[in-house]
Homo-oligomer: A and B are copies of this chain.
Amino acid sequence: MTTEDGETAETFEEYADLGATTGDAMEIAETSMDRVRELVPDETLGDRVRQKAVHATGDPEFQHLVRFSGADESAAVRAGARAVLDERPIVTDITMVKAGVTGRGHGCPVRKAIGNGSELAERTGMTRTAASVLELDRRGVYDDAVAVVGNAPTAALALADCVEDGTRPAVVVATPVGFVKAAKSRQRVREVAREYGVPAITTVGRRGGSGLAAGLTNELVHVASDARDGELSLTRADDRTAPREEGTDRS
């Protein structure tokens, strides 16, 4: 991922989530990622996700808060990138996360859960985001999708319930934020991810949020773009069933 002089504008684009298309923006995006690479290793696909976490939050500590559920650390990244190449839906919990997902470099429909299931929410008293996840799941939207939760812990909990009930997202990206249920909801996502072999990228602790979830999702898009361009390979035996490598799951 080293950026060298003389590369075209198109090459620089991968470093910017939110639309670096001008000279100034590319310079900022490039310099910003250079700074991040001074702080975070740059060897594996997992490192790319850790770099993006630091980039999106402005906080070097975040490299230590990312967790990968899957056969090995890179499995969730590969699974997500493959789903992007397959143009599977990217489904976010709320509008804000959807707004942060890049519109470039992929052909995936991007949709949000919120706005669905309002009748269920009113009837049961559950949160609107949780109800929206259950409603979309009822319609089969989450199978093989990139399922993203950036804000609502109850959406992550609902998604975990769906996995327990048989839904199989291609990958789950879950970084809900807050003081109530946020850390626990991500822990629960990791538990069902491990039990049912669903690749997942999550964070530990109370911190997280929409910007982080969108950033990590965009990194899956960037990895997919690099794979499309032949810069890396996503081929490997089925990650979901491959034996877990010692020491790679740090969740």
A binding-site residues for B, Cβ under 8 Å:
18-25, 28, 31-32, 35-36, 55-59, 94-96, 98-100, 114, 121-122, 124-131, 151-154, 177-182, 205-211, 214
Q: Which residues of B contact A177 (CB under 8 A)?
A: 56-58, 211
In whole angstroms, what is the CA distance A96 to B24 when docked? 21
Whether A210 pairs with B24 at a CB distance below 8 angstroms is no
Please report the C-alpha to C-alpha distance between residue A207 and residue B55 in the assembled complex, in whole angstroms.
10
| Structural contact, A210 and B96, CB atoms closer than 8 A | yes
A59:B207 contact, CB within 8 angstroms: yes
CB-defined A-B contacts under 8 Å, sample of 27: A18-B152, A20-B127, A22-B125, A24-B126, A28-B127, A28-B154, A28-B178, A28-B180, A31-B180, A32-B178, A32-B179, A35-B180, A55-B178, A57-B207, A57-B209, A58-B177, A58-B178, A58-B179, A58-B206, A94-B99, A96-B96, A96-B99, A96-B211, A100-B210, A151-B211, A177-B211, A209-B209
The residue that A210 contacts in the complex, of B121, B124, B211, with Cβ under 8 A, is: B211
Q: CA A164 – CA B238 in complex, angstroms?
A: 59
Identical chains bound together, number? 2
In the bound assembly, the distance between CA atoms of A9 and B96 in angstroms comes to 24
Please report the C-alpha to C-alpha distance between residue A18 and residue B92 in the assembled complex, in whole angstroms.
14
Further 9 A-B residue pairs, CB within 8 A, beyond A22-B122, A151-B211: A24-B126, A25-B128, A28-B154, A31-B180, A32-B180, A56-B177, A59-B207, A95-B99, A96-B210
Taking each of A31, A58, A95, A154, which has the highest tally of chain B beta carbons within 10 Å of its own beta carbon?
Answer: A58
Question: A28-B154, A209-B211 known; A94 and B18 CB under 8 Å?
Answer: yes
Least distance between A50 CB and chain B CB atoms (Å): 15
Whole-angstrom CA separation of A152 from B121 in the bound complex? 36
**Which 3 pairs of residues, A with B, have the shortest CB-CB distance?**
A23-B125, A58-B206, A35-B179
With a 10 A CB-CB cut-off, give which of A24, A55, A121, A181 has the most chain B CB atoms.
A24
Closest to A20 in B: B127
- Contact between A127 and B207, CB atoms less than 8 A apart: no
